[in-house]
Structure 1
Amino acid sequence: MYKPFRALLLISGLALGAQQGQAQQLSNSPYSRFGVGDMAHGTSSIRSAAMGQIGVASGSGALINDQNPALLFYNSSVTFEAAVAAELKRLSDKNNSQIDGTANLGSLALALPLSRRWTASIGLRPYSRVNYASVSSSPVKGAENTVTSFSEYNGSGGLNEVYFANGVRIATGLTAGVSGSYLFGTIDRQESTVLVDREDSTSALQKTLIRTSSRYSGLMFKGGLHYRKKVSDKANLAFGATYTGKAHIETDRQVAQERRFLDESVISSLVTDSLEGYTTLPQMLQVGVAYDNNKNWSLGADYTQTKGSDFRGFSLNKGEGRQEMGDGYRVGVGTEFTPDAGSVSSYFRRVTYRFGGYYGNSEIKAISQGSNAVTAHDLKDMAVTWGFSLPLGRGVRPPDYTQALLNTSFTVGQMQAKNTGLKEQYFRVNVGVTFNNKWFIKRKFD
């Protein structure tokens, strides 16, 4: 096997261990207070992220498709991918704004053809992320002129997903796939209150804090279909669909009540609740259509519907619990083009160029500024995307049968709900490498 390919597999194994201890966060998002946080689309498949989040009907022989398991059939080579994700975000309202950002491991995936009709894949990627911090203040009833209550809300953590997927060819042009995922992770939330009496300067300020730590683990399943039909000598039309079922994942929740000084030193702590129960994650439906010239160009469009109203927060019984999300959708379009993959005279003609965009309504409900109550504001999410695949090394040629690609994607978008006064503007960058290698090839000698 190609030596760099083996080295990268070793590095990925170390990264898998490190990833388990990391929170899947990008940047501060007040909307991640709800459910199990922001769904982490756009931080896994770089190809999909560069093409407006599409991929249900758009197959690729060089890159792993993590949206529709039925499209794994088109990965006829052993394919390994690793990526990192970074985000710069600007939060603003009518009076203030802040800019922050960070980076994390984006995804790891390995696709392995097991026969001419069957390809399997295993990978690790983020499922959701929680990272928020907000403060509100209000006068205390009965002492409005002297005492002010400051409330602070913080959250961190998220869920990771380890998946095992399979794609098989059923008939000419028709493929099917299934994916099983193990979700795991921890989400910590804190709510604290500080009372400030402007007429009392002798007492040390303290805050009362309720800390909730929830550990999640459970299984989730997805099925997919794909059909590709030749409609002319230079054109193919494809259709794809996936369905992700509702998942009841086990949740261990511990609630503690604490008193702390403002320097975070603990005065007293008491565990008030420690229970085992369930959290219900919503079902999701995706459909897509794609058109290609069977050579170097393709165009696709996807529609995704997330049944967020199925979500139920922690409860002792399956399917119960608080409903705090709504139904969401996303429409995406994208295209990719490689001028001449076999060009010898021009490197840039071997580069694959991708462009796209998406528009949708998040399943996370927006909140009005200064309010903790969930309201019916629609949270719109829209962006433009682009990216490239840059060939590395010597390309595909004997005797190593190895091809390497440097993949990039860029996203500029915003999330905003009318009447909330809050806007998120984000810039996301994904960078990763892909190795394609022909295993189990019998060598021939003259």
Structure 2
Amino acid sequence: MSQYSKVLLLTLTLGLGWSCANLNAQGLGNSPYSSLGIGEFYGDAYSDNSGMGQSGVSTASGFQINNLNPALWVRNRFTTLDVGLVTQYKDITAGSDRQTNFGANLAYLSLSFPVKPRWVIGVNLKPYSFVDYQNEAIKPVIGTASVARYITSGKGGINKASITNSVQINKYISVGLESSYFFGNARRSSDVNLVMPGENPDDNYLVSLNQRTTYSDIAFRAGAAVRIPIKKENKLNLNLGGAYSFSTSLNAENTTTFELTQDSFPVTLPDTLNNNQSGSLTIPEQYQVGASLEWPFKLILSADYSRQSWSQYRNYNNLSESLRDVNRIHLGAEYLPRFTSLNYFNLVRYRLGFSYGNTPYVVAGRNVNDTNISLGFTFPMGRGYQNFLSFALIGGQRGNSGAGQVKERYGRAVLGITLLERWFVKQKLD
């Protein structure tokens, strides 16, 4: 590795690691649905899989890390650093109201390295979910001439730090285990601003109920993958894969305070209703299965199905919040024109994807569905084209403007940077 590459690698690792620690609670812009459950999810797909409809549980190229299945990390034969950034533009409609917003965040920071030819260890740091919403309503106070302004808001999120062990059992089968530590917090508040008629607005009373919940615990995800040759000389493979995330109960500590203020000055001393009260939050099990046809270094066609049992979710107060099980399909294709070509654009990998399913959220007794399509590109870069720059563009819609739901039309972009290096290859002397 050149001195320049070492400096670049160290700068990316330290700089983006600091960014993840400081930015992962900021979310991707206002999301009304993040007020339900533990918020909105980032998903496990990296930039390359994001461009294929978030599919790829059964196959991996070895050029980039595939985080959808712990068993596929072993395909990375060289030390690999994968860094991702995500941005999102969203158009939100609720009845006659409309809002647009934009958000950006670090999507993932991963490092994998081969310990032995058939054993790879990986470390990963990424946001898991985020809470970012603010809702406002004005209603009359019954029996008086006053009106009350109700404001509910939330900020925060849960993050995930993981260690993955991936092993090649034989020529065709690999298995993996991801051990993760969840951590983070969410802050939610409910404010009521009482507006008295004929009085100075600065004299209005504000009643605030503030809640802060901190989460921490460990969780596990296991995976397996099988590559079955269909044609001789590795011309066509059938890949099968699956991943299972075990249900876990996150430790939770809750602090709730009550305040009454007038013109920003306290009317009474703030009252702490509970302080660091212990509880738990249940994240349900999830399984993913997939199959793909692979013409090595040419074409991949993949199809995945995922299900997570959010009906088993329980919040800090042991309530289900009426969440429903999530079922999704993911379809994707990746095309590499000519791996041995001297033409640069024949070395670019092109992707297309589609994903459809429901979210955990239910509004007015109806599921909130999510549909999206995606495009992706991976550009080789650097000396020997051993590093890669990937883009994924995703456009979709969640919910609809009827039946009391909120319709969200979104455009998301994921940028991935992949650096490969042969750190653990033994040098031979003539």
Q: Tell whether the 8 Å contact from 1:70 to 1:167 is kept in structure 2 after alignment.
A: yes
The aligned residue for residue 61 of structure 1 is 62
User: For each residue in 1:170-193, what CA deviation from the matched residue of structure 2 results, as whole angstroms up to 9, or x when unmatched?
Assistant: 223111111011010110001011
Q: Tell whether the 8 Å contact from 1:24 to 1:128 is kept in structure 2 after alignment.
A: no
Cα distance change of structure 1 residues 404 and 265 upon mapping to structure 2, 3 Å threshold: farther
Secondary structure in 2 matching 1:348: helix
The aligned residue for residue 6 of structure 2 is 6
Secondary structure in 2 matching 1:135: strand
In structure 1, C-alpha distance between the alignment counterparts of 2:193 and 2:5, rounded to whole Å: 55
In structure 1, C-alpha distance between the alignment counterparts of 2:265 and 2:428, rounded to whole Å: 71
In structure 2, C-alpha distance between the alignment counterparts of 1:203 and 1:96, rounded to whole Å: 28
Secondary structure in 2 matching 1:54: coil
Q: Equivalent residues in 2 for 1:39-438 (5 A)?
A: 39-41=41-43, 45-143=46-144, 146-201=145-200, 204-233=203-232, 234-261=235-262, 268-274=269-275, 275-315=277-317, 320-344=318-342, 346-366=343-363, 375-395=364-384, 403-417=386-400, 418-438=402-422
Unaligned 5+ residue runs, structure 2?
Answer: none
Secondary structure in 2 matching 1:314: coil
In structure 2, C-alpha distance between the alignment counterparts of 1:93 and 1:132, rounded to whole Å: 14
Secondary structure in 2 matching 1:378: strand
Q: Tell whether the 8 Å contact from 2:312 to 2:320 is kept in structure 1 after alignment.
A: no
User: For each residue in 1:301-325, what CA deviation from the matched residue of structure 2 results, as whole angstroms up to 9, or x when unmatched?
Assistant: 111101001111114xxxx444442
Q: CA RMSD in A?
A: 1.8
In structure 2, C-alpha distance between the alignment counterparts of 1:361 and 1:347, rounded to whole Å: 40
Query: What TM-score does the superposition give when structure 1 sets the normalisation length?
Result: 0.90
Task: Give 1:358's aligned amino acid.
Answer: S
Q: Tell whether the 8 Å contact from 1:310 to 1:323 is kept in structure 2 after alignment.
A: no
Q: Tell whether the 8 Å contact from 1:254 to 1:271 is kept in structure 2 after alignment.
A: yes
In structure 1, C-alpha distance between the alignment counterparts of 2:265 and 2:335, rounded to whole Å: 57
In structure 2, C-alpha distance between the alignment counterparts of 1:252 and 1:301, rounded to whole Å: 40
In structure 2, C-alpha distance between the alignment counterparts of 1:69 and 1:223, rounded to whole Å: 6
Question: What's the offset of the Cα at 1:444?
Answer: 5.0
The aligned residue for residue 369 of structure 1 is none
In structure 1, C-alpha distance between the alignment counterparts of 2:90 and 2:158, rounded to whole Å: 21
In structure 1, C-alpha distance between the alignment counterparts of 2:399 and 2:32, rounded to whole Å: 12
Question: What's the offset of the Cα at 1:66?
Answer: 0.6
Task: Give 1:423's aligned amino acid.
Answer: K
In structure 2, C-alpha distance between the alignment counterparts of 1:79 and 1:160, rounded to whole Å: 22
Q: Tell whether the 8 Å contact from 2:34 to 2:131 is kept in structure 1 after alignment.
A: yes
Unaligned 5+ residue runs, structure 1?
Answer: 367-374, 397-402
Task: Give 1:189's aligned amino acid.
Answer: R
In structure 1, C-alpha distance between the alignment counterparts of 2:6 and 2:349, rounded to whole Å: 26
Question: What's the offset of the Cα at 1:15?
Answer: 2.8
Cα distance change of structure 1 residues 354 and 219 upon mapping to structure 2, 3 Å threshold: same
Secondary structure in 2 matching 1:112: strand
Task: Give 2:284's aligned amino acid.
Answer: P
The aligned residue for residue 31 of structure 1 is 33
In structure 1, C-alpha distance between the alignment counterparts of 2:201 and 2:108, rounded to whole Å: 53
Question: What's the offset of the Cα at 1:10?
Answer: 3.8
In structure 2, C-alpha distance between the alignment counterparts of 1:97 and 1:305, rounded to whole Å: 32
Cα distance change of structure 1 residues 380 and 265 upon mapping to structure 2, 3 Å threshold: farther
In structure 2, C-alpha distance between the alignment counterparts of 1:4 and 1:259, rounded to whole Å: 58
In structure 1, C-alpha distance between the alignment counterparts of 2:242 and 2:143, rounded to whole Å: 59
Question: What's the offset of the Cα at 1:209?
Answer: 0.6
Cα distance change of structure 1 residues 266 and 432 upon mapping to structure 2, 3 Å threshold: farther
Secondary structure in 1 matching 2:92: strand
Q: Tell whether the 8 Å contact from 1:132 to 1:154 is kept in structure 2 after alignment.
A: yes
In structure 2, C-alpha distance between the alignment counterparts of 1:29 and 1:227, rounded to whole Å: 38
Q: Tell whether the 8 Å contact from 2:79 to 2:424 is kept in structure 1 after alignment.
A: no
User: For each residue in 1:64-95, what CA deviation from the matched residue of structure 2 results, as whole angstroms up to 9, or x when unmatched?
Assistant: 01110011121111111111111111111231
Task: Give 1:6's aligned amino acid.
Answer: K
Secondary structure in 2 matching 1:219: strand
Query: What TM-score does the superposition give when structure 2 sets the normalisation length?
Result: 0.94
Question: What's the offset of the Cα at 1:276?
Answer: 1.2
In structure 2, C-alpha distance between the alignment counterparts of 1:11 and 1:118, rounded to whole Å: 25
Q: Tell whether the 8 Å contact from 2:80 to 2:418 is kept in structure 1 after alignment.
A: yes
Question: What's the offset of the Cα at 1:255?
Answer: 0.3
In structure 1, C-alpha distance between the alignment counterparts of 2:5 and 2:309, rounded to whole Å: 40
Question: What's the offset of the Cα at 1:5?
Answer: 3.9
Q: Tell whether the 8 Å contact from 1:84 to 1:432 is kept in structure 2 after alignment.
A: yes
In structure 1, C-alpha distance between the alignment counterparts of 2:372 and 2:101, rounded to whole Å: 19
Question: What's the offset of the Cα at 1:422?
Answer: 1.9
Q: Tell whether the 8 Å contact from 1:133 to 1:153 is kept in structure 2 after alignment.
A: yes
Cα distance change of structure 1 residues 247 and 292 upon mapping to structure 2, 3 Å threshold: same
Secondary structure in 1 matching 2:209: strand
Q: Tell whether the 8 Å contact from 1:24 to 1:159 is kept in structure 2 after alignment.
A: no
Secondary structure in 1 matching 2:67: coil
